[in-house]
Amino acid sequence: MNPEFYLILNSVELDEGLENAVFEAGFDDSSLTVRGGRAAIWIRHRPGELTQVVREALEQARQGGLDVSHVEIENTVFA
């Protein structure tokens, strides 16, 4: 199972500029959405261990010039 998480951005607007920046940063395998009143990138199709996938996504966002506020994980099941 691939990890699922959100990169919450420091932006409230889902405008064309942000959409282009997210795509150009290489998040074409992810979805741009709104979460908690902020723009967010929903990452769910990347194989690997959660910690490593999160680190790689944060670095990818940083290199793409995206301003990430924090990471949110939803529906985590431990068992």
Does some domain include residue 38?
A: yes
CATH number for the domain that contains residue 59: 3.30.70
Range of the domain at 65: 5-72
Of 17, 10, 16, 47, the C-alpha closest to 29 is 47
Q: Which two tokens stand for residue 36?
A: 């908690």
pLDDT tens-digit profile of 16-38? Answer: 999 999 999 999 999 999 999 99
Does some domain include residue 79?
A: no
Average pLDDT over residues 1-17: 92
| Residue 76 confidence class, pLDDT cut points 50, 70, 90 | low
Does some domain include residue 60?
A: yes
Does some domain include residue 78?
A: no
Q: How many domains does the chain have?
A: 1
Q: Which residue is it, tokens 């795509």?
A: 23
Does some domain include residue 9?
A: yes
Does some domain include residue 61?
A: yes
Measured CA to CA in angstroms, residue 27 lies from 13, 24, 35, 36, 58 at distances of 17, 7, 17, 20, 11
Cβ atoms of 2 and 46 within 8 Å: the answer is yes
Residues of the chain above pLDDT 70, percent: 94
